[in-house]
Chain A
Amino acid sequence: MLKITNLHASVAGNEILKGLNLELKAGEVHAIMGPNGAGKSTLGNVLAGREGYEVTQGEIIFNGKNLLELEPEERACEGVFLAFQYPVEIPGVNNTYFLRAALNAQRKYRGEEILDSVAFLRLVREKLKVLHIGDELLHRAVNEGFSGGEKKRNEIFQMAVLEPALAILDETDSGLDIDALKTVAEGVNRLRSKDRGMIVVTHYQRLLDYIVPDKVHVLADGKLVATGGAELALKLEEQGYAWLEDGGITPLDSQPAVPTARP
């Protein structure tokens, strides 16, 4: 589904990603962990196509397409979804209106029928039920005045409605208390499916107690330096990120099964 090869990316002239390789298959959930400043958020922003994130080398192939050639909205229409670390407040734009406009833009792109407001509301109610989210968020402006937990739930709700092929969750756990974290994780788990790939970017292992990944990657200094199963996250929790500098645990190249395949 997604193949990232030798990705180098800079922000304001500073190289942040320095040769990242990653391959994700449909149905898989990969966690990317790493210390602050490792480039975790940069990866999400590069995948979504944010301006100012300049790719200087490498390629990203998504379902056979060169993702880097697409505009952000084309990527969304192809099925890429970034759950923002800091969801943006948009005063005056109604949450429901926005989401319907977005969904219909995507449907139009794919040559599908446009949903009228009745059909859309039916869909929305269905999704809310599945996610156990109340409808109070629907009537408000996009993220405006939302609490941290509400913002993150709204991201998951958008994801549920837009049904992306690839979801990137950028530090979705940051700023959440344990109850909000559980709600959000539960929502994500309900959206796991054999057709959908997910990349869960997080600083803490805590989130992975609730969203159990198929693979865990460690990102440090712009590269994936270790890959393992869910147990790798526990080890990180125990030992912290300091071991990266100490060379404390098994380095990447001694694990032949890692998915950071070279082209």
Chain B
Amino acid sequence: MSELSLHLAASLPDNGGIRPEWLKDLREAGAAQFRAHGLPTRKDEAWKYTGLGALGQAEVQLATGLELPLSGKLSPSPLAESVLQINLLDGQILSLTGDSPAGVTVLPLADALNHGIKGLQELLESLPDKNHKSPSANGFSALNSATLDSGVVIHAAAGTDAGRLTFTWSTSPGEKPMLFNSRICVLLEAGAKLELLEQFESPDDNTNTSNIVLQAELGEAAVLQHIRFQQETEGAVLITRTEVSQQANSEYAYFGFDLGGGLVRHDLHTSLLGDGAKSGLNGAYLLDGNRHVDNHARVDHFAPGGVSMQYFRGVAGGSGKAVFNTAVCVHPGADGTEARQSNANILLSARAEIDTKPELEIYADEVIASHGATVGQLDELAVFYMRSRGLSEQDARQLLTTAFCKSVSDKLADPLLGEVISQRMMDVMPQAE
């Protein structure tokens, strides 16, 4: 185990006073796994291209039970209006504004634990996956469970439309870089609908690490639209994991936009457990400088008639490095599945690097599947075409790269939000060298 892992393991909190009992057990199990295996290393296949040297060098400290000063802290201005906005700072709830619609419960995790929300215990206990073939690859989830105390729980009763909820995440610079853990649980009962907009943006540069796990359970025909927009600061480390399970005819639509962050890793996993469930995973990542963004997406089809569509676009300039791994597994019995994966990338500099790897495993019948992954340069003929109409070469290139990424934001159901995000992408678009 690395020095960093040993140091974090040694700072794990004591669970003596933790109640209820199952939570104590859960934290103990997480701690035991973390003490045994630590954080992921490059020896884990899933972390082959992403090292954690940045955390070790910064001597990041594990944050436990922080008392937050509630005033004078800024949160990013939200990208869009929503019925309820929750601002989180250093992994803790800073403020909550707006009202929950009828049938929708939004609670801080600590309160929810005593509130007896149906299905919450089972959901929390499903992580970290004890049967994972490579426990260290799961190290951040183990650490998250070992310190489980802060976060938010959202529950929507059958048939309710919760509208849009916005989470803003930020961290504040301190004497030493800290590692903050937080957990979001989303429970949508049959036919419930929710749009979840997560925005990661710290006002001041820092070298903190955020380790955030989001778990969502979609009942029959429930619909979750999940938009994740991150424009973290240059030094920030953002480790996130999204775990979704889907019952019959439910729909999960994910849109991820990576515009910032020094070291970013997102594990996105959805399991289609019921017949006819649909999953659409879309994302764009833009990198320059020395930034490193790693997206790992995985879809497991367990039931017949499911549909999964993946659409990711990446642009890397400077010495940026992007990792994109997409896996689809169509398990025995998931007949009639349709699974499509598309990942295209543009390299704008000779020093930038993109590692893309699509994986597809099929153990069922009558499956329609396609996958494509490309890394290339801008279409020079299109650049010339635009210049021949009067645009400068720089503008032409910027418009083309933005358009490439905009094909993701254009898929958003809300065109206004799509426009805001595409403008933000244009503002940070890496330049060609």
Contact = CB atoms under 8 A, between A and B. Distances in A.
Interface of A: 48-51, 71-73, 75-77, 81-82, 84, 87-93, 98-99, 101-103, 105-106, 109, 141, 158, 162
Contacts of B381: 88
Given A92-B404, A93-B400, A158 B389 contact: yes
Nearest to B396: A73
Contacts of B386: 90, 98, 102
Interface string B361-385: 0000000000000000001111011
B388 A92 contact: no
A92 B390 contact: no
B257 to A, nearest CB: 15
A49 B400 contact: no
22 contacts: A50-B384, A50-B388, A72-B387, A73-B391, A76-B387, A81-B389, A84-B388, A87-B385, A88-B381, A88-B382, A88-B385, A90-B403, A91-B407, A92-B404, A93-B403, A101-B395, A102-B390, A102-B391, A105-B395, A106-B390, A162-B389, A162-B390
Contacts of B379: 88
Contacts of A81: 388-389
Nearest to B401: A92
A88 B381 CA distance: 7
Q: Could you say which of B386, B393, B399 has the most chain A C-beta atoms within 10 Å of its C-beta?
A: B386
Interface size class of B (residues with CB under 8 A): 20 to 34
A48 B381 CA distance: 13
Contacts of B403: 90-93, 141
Given A90-B386, A98-B386, 10 more contacts: A51-B380, A71-B387, A77-B390, A81-B389, A84-B388, A92-B404, A92-B406, A98-B389, A105-B391, A105-B392
B407 A73 contact: no
A33 B76 CA distance: 62
A84 B384 CA distance: 11
B410 interface: yes
Interface string B331-356: 00000000000000000000000000
B390 A73 contact: yes
A76 B399 contact: no
A48 B395 contact: no
A41 B122 CA distance: 69
Nearest to A72: B387
A71 B407 CA distance: 30
B399 A71 contact: no
Contacts of A105: 390-392, 395
A83 to B, nearest CB: 10
Given A88-B381, A92-B407, A92-B410, A98 B388 contact: no
A136 B385 CA distance: 22
Nearest to B384: A50
Given A90-B403, A92-B403, A101 B391 contact: yes
B421 to A, nearest CB: 13
Contacts of B388: 48-50, 72-73, 75-76, 81-82, 84
Nearest to A101: B391
Given A51-B380, A88-B382, A101-B395, A73 B387 contact: yes
A199 to B, nearest CB: 15
B394 to A, nearest CB: 10
B426 to A, nearest CB: 11
Contacts of A93: 399-400, 403
A103 B390 contact: yes
Given A72-B384, A88-B381, A92-B410, A102 B400 contact: no
A214 B392 CA distance: 34
Nearest to B422: A92
Q: Could you say which of A91, A92, A106 has the most chain B C-beta atoms within 10 Å of its C-beta?
A: A92
A82 B387 CA distance: 11
Contacts of A106: 390
Interface in B90-105: none
Contacts of A99: 389
B401 to A, nearest CB: 10
